[in-house]
Amino acid sequence: MYFMDFMNKYNGKKVDFDRAYGAQCVDLFRFFNREVLEINQPKSVEGAKDFWSRYSYDVNLYSNFEKISNTLTFVPKEGDVAVWNMGKYGHIAMCTGVGDTKKFEAFGQNYPAGSACKKVTFNYSNFLGILRPKAQDKIKSKAHTFWVMVEKKAANVRKQPSLKAALSGSKVLYKGDKFEAVGIVNGDSVSGNNKWYHSKVGNYVWSGGLKTI
In tens, the pLDDT along 44-66 reads 999 999 999 999 999 999 999 99
pTM for the full model? 0.69
Q: What is the per-residue pLDDT for 83?
A: 98
Q: Is the dihedral of CA 202, 206, 209, 211 positive or negative?
A: positive
**pLDDT above 70 for 177:** yes
What is the average pLDDT score of the chain? 92
DSSP summary character for residue 42: P
- Can you tell me the distance from the alpha carbon of 80 to that of 63, in angstroms, rounded to the nearest whole number? 15
Give the model confidence (pLDDT) of 145-169 as tens digits: 789 999 999 999 998 889 988 877 7
- Can you tell me the distance from the alpha carbon of 13 to that of 116, in angstroms, rounded to the nearest whole number? 5
Q: Which residues contact 12 (CB under 8 A, 6 or more apart)?
A: 116, 117, 118
- CB 47: neighbour CB atoms within 10 A? 18
* H-type alpha helices, the chain: 3-10, 25-32, 50-53, 59-62
Q: Are 186 and 120 in contact (CB under 8 A)?
A: no
- Mean pLDDT on 63-84: 96
**pLDDT above 70 for 141:** no
Q: What is the per-residue pLDDT for 170?
A: 74
Q: What is the per-residue pLDDT for 142?
A: 53
Give the model confidence (pLDDT) of 1-45 as tens digits: 789 889 988 999 999 999 888 999 999 999 999 999 999 999 999
